[in-house]
């Protein structure tokens, strides 16, 4: 028999499904929400309801935005001749945290991972190729910053091959020094990422 009120148990079960949250933390969060004022809870609920409705992908780079074009793509002080390709938005945020890189991005929203049934069509490679084709004269370099693990490397090589078909002259590089093999960009500090960017090599 359930010892807790069903509504509280449902909230706890939901928290338990979130990444990095174990059963104990889920319970703590559930009880915490029960203690805060009703108005705060309603505000939180409203934020959650808006979250997915308002966020969508930038038409140019697939970053998340509430507008048609994201803040990075609309920023005219950024160097649009350089595109860094990342697996997801969290990687974009890590890359951008140091304010050293001033180019633009392309977010794949995943990586090629045959074991988990994620093929090239499941991620946003085609949009990158279209962008390169359309802006062939402006874009000077594409930096493939997929994660330095098996799937990330395979994704980078696959994308490189496709880019060369549409823009054979384009410089394509890959992040290098400082990033341990198997690491996740999300957890790298910005100094490490900055060094990886500086030490990037042609692919």
Q: Which residues of 53-90 are buried (b: 16+ CB within 10 A; e: fewer)?
A: eeeebbebbbbebeeeebebbeeeebebebbbbbbbbe
Least Å from the CB of residue 85 to Zn ion: 13
Least Å from the CB of residue 57 to Zn ion: 8
In the set 11, 12, 26, 61, which binds Zn ion (CB under 5 A)?
Answer: 61
In the set 70, 108, 144, 145, which binds Zn ion (CB under 5 A)?
Answer: 70
Least Å from the CB of residue 93 to Zn ion: 13
Looking at the Cβ atoms of 86 and 196, the one nearer to Zn ion is: 86
Is residue 83 close enough to count as binding Zn ion by CB under 5 A?
Answer: no
The token duo for 191 is 């100094």
56 and 64 in contact (C-beta within 8 Å)?
yes
Least Å from the CB of residue 106 to Zn ion: 8
Looking at the Cβ atoms of 7 and 74, the one nearer to Zn ion is: 74
Contacts with Zn ion by CB under 5 A: the residue count is 6
Spatial neighbors of 78 by CB under 8 A, at least 6 apart, are 72, 102, 103, 104
Spatial neighbors of 112 by CB under 8 A, at least 6 apart, are 118, 119, 120, 123, 151, 154, 155, 158
Looking at the Cβ atoms of 61 and 83, the one nearer to Zn ion is: 61
Looking at the Cβ atoms of 61 and 139, the one nearer to Zn ion is: 61
Is residue 60 close enough to count as binding Zn ion by CB under 5 A?
Answer: yes
Classify the phi-psi angles of 62: left when phi > 0, otherwise alpha if psi is within -120 to 50, otherwise beta: left
Q: Which of residues 20-49 bind Zn ion (CB under 5 A)?
A: none
Is residue 73 close enough to count as binding Zn ion by CB under 5 A?
Answer: yes
Positive or negative CA dihedral for 53, 54, 58, 63? negative
Q: Which of residues 111-150 bind Zn ion (CB under 5 A)?
A: none
Contact residues for Zn ion (CB under 5 A)?
Answer: 58, 60-61, 63, 70, 73
């Amino acid at each position: 028999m359930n010892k807790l009120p069903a509504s509280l148990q449902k909230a706890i079960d939901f928290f338990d499904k979130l990444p990095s949250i174990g059963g104990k933390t889920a319970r703590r969060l559930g009880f915490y929400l029960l203690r805060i004022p009703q108005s705060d809870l309603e505000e939180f609920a409203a934020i959650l309801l808006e979250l997915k409705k308002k966020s969508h992908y930038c038409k140019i780079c697939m970053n998340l935005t509430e507008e048609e074009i994201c803040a990075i793509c609309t920023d005219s002080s950024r160097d649009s001749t350089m595109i860094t390709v990342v697996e997801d938005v969290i990687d974009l945020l890590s890359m951008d945290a140091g304010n050293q890189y001033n180019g633009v991005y392309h977010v794949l929203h995943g990586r090629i991972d045959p074991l988990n049934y994620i093929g090239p069509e499941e991620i946003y490679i085609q949009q990158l190729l279209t962008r390169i084709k359309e802006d062939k004269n402006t874009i000077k370099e594409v930096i493939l910053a997929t994660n330095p693990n098996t799937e990330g490397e395979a994704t980078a090589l696959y994308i490189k091959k496709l880019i060369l078909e549409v823009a054979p002259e384009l410089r394509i590089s890959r992040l290098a020094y400082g990033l341990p093999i198997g690491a996740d960009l999300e957890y790298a500090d910005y100094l490490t990422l900055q060094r990886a960017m500086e030490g990037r090599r042609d692919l």
